[in-house]
Structures are given as C-alpha cells and as structure tokens.
Structure 1
Amino acid sequence: MDTLAIVILNYNGQSFLAKFLPIVLSYAEGYPVYVADSASTDHSVAYVRATFPNVRLIELPYNGGYAGGYNMALEYIRTHYGGARYYVLPNSDIEVTPGWISPILSLLEANPQIAACQPKIRSYSQRDQFEHAGAAGGFVDWLGYVFCRGRIFATFETDHGQYDDNRQVFWATGACLFVRADLFHQVGGFDASFFAHMEEIDLCWRLQRLGYQVWACGQSTVYHVGGGTLHKSNPQKTYLNYRNSLFMLYKNWPADGWLWGKFLLRLVLDGVSSLLFLKVGQWRDVLAIIRAHFAFYRHLPELHRQRKVLLQQQKADAVLYPHSIVWSYFMKGERLFKEMRDVSSVSQN
C-alpha cells in the first residue's frame, strides 16, 4: 500500500493537464500520480497515455461530476492498486509548489484525529491573493452559508502570512483535498447526488460528526486557476451551489428543533440574492436559484433518510460559526476574517 496517492480527476481538461501535470510530477515526492478521466470527449486520454507513461490512468465509464467521479476513481485505486493511506485530490487546474506535500502529511501523521486537510489556496492569476475555492480553510455559518479565512464573498485578502499557522477549520477545499483513505471509504465517500460543488463540505461535516477534525496547513501553498470545468458565470454553477447548500444543511444539521426555521430564513435570503442577480440582468441565475429550491423539495424523502442515518451515527457536534455571515458582511461591513465576532473559537474544540 502506498502512503499517498495523488489523484487528478479530469473532464475535457487536456489543456490543464498539459500545463499543470508536469509540475505535479516534478513535485510528487515519489508518490504515484493518477489521472482519472471522466469519459472526456477531447483527446485527454490519448494525450496522457502518450505523454506521461508513468501516470496511472483510470478511464471512468461516465462523467459523474467531482463527487461521483472521485468515488469511482478512489474505489478503483483501492481494489486494483492496493489503495493508499492518504489521498490528495488536486483539481486539474492546480499548480503545486515545491514541498507542498510533506507539511500536510506530517500534520496528518502527528494527529490521527485529523481526517482531512488542505494547503493555502492562492489565485493563479493574482498570485499574492487568496483564491475563492477554499483560501486558507473554510467555515459554515448557522444558516449553512460558507466562507473562508482569506475570502469572504467578494473580498479576497492578500496573503501577508497571516494564515501561515496550522489550525482546525470546518471544511477543507475540494480544490486540493488531503483525506485519510480509510475514513473516506468508511463514510461512503462523497455524496454522489451533489455531482459537483460543496460535496467536500458535506464530507467534512460528516467526518466531524464522527469525532474527527479538519485542518488547514499554512506551510503548504498551491495556486488555483478556478472555474476550469464550470465557470463561475455559468448558471449551472449557481444551481449546484444553492441546491447542494440546502442538501448539506438538511442532512447534517443537528436535531435541535430549529431546522425548518432556518430553511424559512434561507428562503428569504436566497430570494434577496435572486433580486441582486436580477438587478444586474442575470435572470438565468434567478431561474437557477428557483430550480435549486424545487430540486431540494423533490429530494426531501431521500435527504430525510440520510439525515436519520447520520443522526444515529453521530458521536460529536461540528462547531458552526454562531452568527450570520450574510449579516456580518453586508450589514455590519465585516469584510475580513479577523473582524468577525467569536471567530477565533470556531472549530477549535
């Protein structure tokens, strides 16, 4: 069994593989590199096979998105290659750096309670700034809205070393997720119904409910292009983000009697965000938000079944940010992580 498997999921990303796969191979520190191709219709498979003979190529039967694709790929690695103790899942548009692996593996080895971890994620195009997808570690507020150290909504901090520490967070980004292989398979991997977006947050929430922790490592840095498969302006991305946020919240919220009150507030706030989209003429995003809510209602029976199972398995509570990030950001003007109330204790249990 390998200590670490580096697994890149690809869908029609030949240009990213050409640009970033050689860098991954250069800084792989001797660990095997896999490319799992999700039935691409470009020439990705032929390109990898011809250009990178040392890469272990996995050809998946269909495009199951990030969630389903990685579930299939990691199960294949476990059954056909003997598995690994840890997986790292860098997006195909991630540029890794020298020494990006060792600090995180050291952290995982030193603390067996850490189930998942991430490096700092900086922007490929604005290299001194944190990037949208994960920045320096993520959090979830009491309504299920997500934010990060270094990135809250449209505010992106410049990296001055303010997050060079190692600390517990709520979620580690799927852009470059390190996870213990045995725990990944124990909890059933990602929820494939998410397809893409927020599946890693759902996974991290489930891991914490079993008593494990999620950390961010400030000694490791990678750069992310972002939107490589689905651009942020695509209404389908809006749909998946809103829908999956509701999926995640319903499945994982503890049994405290406030669940439907929170969904009522979410309905109001999501409606306000629809008006903001409408104001700038993005009516397709408005329709995407409406579709997301109806999809949530359609999936309620299955989500309720999952919720019951998760409540039965729960051993610990995950610590959410106890305030509304929407209120803090838009009404109080708290644009930086350090300005937020009670944030120093979040996930530091």
Structure 2
Amino acid sequence: MDTLAIVILNYNGQPFLAKFLPAVLANADGHPVYVADSASVDSSVSFLRATFPTVRIIELPRNEGYAGGYNLALEHIRTHYGGARYYVLPNSDIAVTPGWLSPVLAMMETNPKIAACQPKIRSYDQPALFEHAGAAGGFVDWLGYVFCRGRVFATFEEDRGQYDDNRQVFWATGACLFMRAEVFHETGGFDGSFFAHMEEIDWCWRIQRLGYEVWACGQSTVYHVGGGTLHKSNPHKTYLNYRNSLFMLYKNWPADFWLWPKIMFRLILDGLSAILFLKVGQWRDVWAIIRAHFAFYGRLPQLHRERKRLKAQQTTEVPLYPDSIVWKYFAEGKKTFGEIM
C-alpha cells in the first residue's frame, strides 16, 4: 500500500494537463500520480500515454462529475493498485509548489482524527490573492451559506501571512483535498447525486458528525486557475451550487424542529438573489435557481432517508457559524474573515 496517491480527475482538460502536470510529477516526492479520465472526447488519454508514461491512467466509462468520478477512481485504486493511506485530489488546473505535500502529511500523521485537510489556495492569475475555491479553509453559517478564511463572497484578501497557521476548519476545498483513505471509503465517499460542487463540503460535514476533524495547513500553498471545467459565470454552475447547498443543508442540519423554518428562509433568500440576477439581465441564472429549487423538491424523499440514516450514525455535534454571513457581509459591511469572526 502506498502512503499517498495523487489523483487528478480530468474531463477534456488536455491543455491543463500539459501545463500543470509536469510540476505535479516534479514535486510528487516519489508518490504515484494518477489521472482518472472521465470519458474525455479530446486527446487527453493519448496525450498522457505519449507524454507522461509514468502517470497511471484510469479510464472511467462515463463522466459522472467530480463526486461520481472520484468515487469510481479511488475505488479503482483501492482494488487494482492496493490503495493508499492518504489521497490528495488536486484539480487539473492547480499549480503545485515545491514542498506542498510534506506539511499536510505531517499534520495528518500526527493527529489521527484529521480526515480531511487543505493547503492555502491562491489565485493563479492574481498570485497575491486568495482564490475563490477554498482560500485558507472554509466555514458554513446557520443557513448553509459557505465562506472562507481569505474569501467572503466577492472579497478576496491578499495573502499577507495572516492565515499561515494550522487550524481546524469546517470544510476543506475539493480543489486540492487531502483525505484519509480509510475514512473516505468507510463513509461511502462523496454523494454522487451532487455531481459537482459542494460535495466535498457535504463530506466534510458528514465525517465531522462521526468525530473526525477537518484542518487547513498554512505551510503549504498551491495556485488555482478556477473554472477549468465549468466557469463560474456558467448558469449550470449556479444551478449546481443552489441545488447542492439545499441538499447538504437538509441532509446534515441537526435539529428537526428548526429544519423547515430554516429551509423556507433559505428559499426566500435564494429568491432575493434571483431578483439581483434579474436586475442585471442574467435570465439564465434566474431559471437555474428555479430549476435548483424544483430539483430539491423532487429529491426530498431520498434526502429524508439519507437524513435519517446519518442521524442514526452521528456521534458528535458539529457547530456551525452561529450568525448569517449574508447579513454580516451585505448589511453590516464586514467583508473579511477577520472582521466577521
């Protein structure tokens, strides 16, 4: 069994592989590098075979998004390659840096309760700034809205060393997610119904309910292009984020009594955000939010069964940020993590 498997999920991302995979290989510290290809229709697989013969290629039968794709790929590594103690899942548009692996692995080796961890994520295009997807570790407020150290909504902080500490957080980003393999498989991996976006936050919430911890490592830094497969302006991304946020909240919110009042309040806030999209003429995003709500209603029976199963297994209460990040940011004008916390 390997100590660590570096696993990159790819879908029609041959240009990103050409640009960023050499640095991954150069800084792999002897650990195997896998590329799991989600039935790409570009030249990704032939390019990998011709250019990077040391990379272990996993050809998946279809594109099942981040969640389903990694579930298939990591199970394949466990059954066909003997598995690994840890996985790290860098996006194909992540630029790694020398020494990015060892600080995170040292943390996880020292504390067996850490089941998920992330490095600092900075912007590839604006290297001094934290990047949207995860920044320096994430949190969830009482309505299920997510925010990060270093990035709150559209405010991106400059990295001045203010988050160089190692600390426990609520969620670690899927852009470069380190995981304890045993915990990933024991918990059934990601929820495949999410397809993409927020599945890692859902998983981090679930593992904390079982007593595990999620951390951010300030001694490791990578750079993220972002939107390599699905750009942030794409209405389908809007649909997935709004839908999956509701999925996650319904499954994991602990108190039954406050669940539906909280869901209804959240639906109202989603409606207000749709009005903001409408004001700037983004009709497709408005329709994406409407579709997301109906997809949530349609999946309620399955979500309810999953909620009951998770409650029966839960051993630990998981505290959320007790206030509204929406109110803090838009009403009180608190734009950074330090101001909010």
**1:215 alignment partner AA:** W
Deviation at 1:203, TM superposition (A): 0.3
After TM superposition, the runs of 4+ consecutive aligned structure 1 residues lying more than 3 A away are none
Letter of the 1:237 partner, please give it. K
Q: How far apart, in 1, do the equivalents of 2:175 and 2:158 lie?
A: 19
Report whether the alignment pairs 1:63 with 2:89: no
Q: What is the percentage of aligned positions where both structures have the same residue?
A: 78
Distance, in Å, in 1 between the alignment partners of 2:316 and 2:256 is: 14
The equivalent of 1:103 in structure 2 is 103
Cα distance, 1:267 vs structure 2: 1.1
- Correspondence for 1:293: 293
**Could you give the per-residue CA deviations for residues 27-79 of structure 1, whole angstroms, max 9, x where no partner exists?**
00110000000000000000001110000000000000000000000000000
- Distance in 1 between residues matched to 2:121 and 2:56, nearest whole Å: 26
Deviations 1:78-104 (A, max 9, x none): 000000000000000000000000000
> Residue 218 of structure 2: SS of its match in structure 1?
strand
1:175 aligned residue: 175
Which residue is 2:4 aligned to? Answer: 4
1:207 is aligned to 2:210? no
- What is the letter of the counterpart of residue 129 of structure 1? L
| Residues matched between the structures, number | 341
In 1, the alpha carbon distance for the partners of 2:332 and 2:170 equals 23
Q: CA deviation at 1:232?
A: 0.5
Match of 1:128 in 2: 128
1:303-342 equivalences under 5 Å are 303-340=303-340
SS at match of 2:133: coil
Alignment of 1:159-308 (within 5 A): 159-308=159-308
Cα distance per residue 1:154-189 (max 9 Å; x no partner):
000000000000000000000000000000000000
Match of 1:42 in 2: 42
Shift of 1:257: 1.0
Q: Distance in 1 between matches of 2:281 and 2:94?
A: 32
What residue number does 1:16 align with?
16
Cα deviation for residue 263 of structure 1 reads 0.8
Q: Describe the superposition over 1:231-282 as per-residue Cα deviations: whole angstroms up to 9, x where unpaired.
A: 0110000000000000000000103410001011111100110011111110
Q: Residue 98 of structure 2 aligns to a residue in which SS?
A: coil
Q: CA RMSD in A?
A: 0.5
Structure 2 unaligned blocks of 5 or more: none
| Amino acid paired to 2:176 | C
Q: CA–CA distance in 2 between the matches of 1:34 and 1:140? A: 31
**Matches of 1:3 and 1:317, distance apart in 2:** 31
Shift in Å, 1:317: 1.2
- Counterpart of 1:153, as a letter, is F
- Aligned to 1:229, the other structure's residue is in SS state coil
Secondary structure of residue in 1 paired with 2:249: helix
Q: Report SS of the residue matched to 1:257.
A: helix
Q: Secondary structure at the match of 2:257?
A: coil
TM-score norm. by structure 1 comes to 0.97
SS at match of 1:267: helix
User: 2:26 matched to which residue of 1?
Assistant: 26
Please list the CA deviations of residues 118-155 of structure 1 after superposition, one character each: whole Å capped at 9, or x if unmatched: 00000000000000000000000000000000000000
Whichever residue aligns with residue 36 of structure 2, its letter is A
1 CA distance for matches of 2:277 and 2:116? 34
Letter in 2 for 1:87: Y
Match of 1:137 in 2: 137
Superimposed CA distance per residue, residues 275-305 of structure 1 (whole angstroms, 9 cap, x where no aligned partner): 1111111010000000000000000000001
Q: Distance in 2 between matches of 1:299 and 1:56?
A: 37
Partner of 1:75 in structure 2? 75
Q: 1: distance between equivalents of 2:177 and 2:71? A: 14
- What's the TM-score, normalizing by structure 2? 1.00
Q: CA separation in 2, counterparts of 1:257 and 1:284?
A: 35
CA distance in 2, matches of 1:220, 1:204: 20
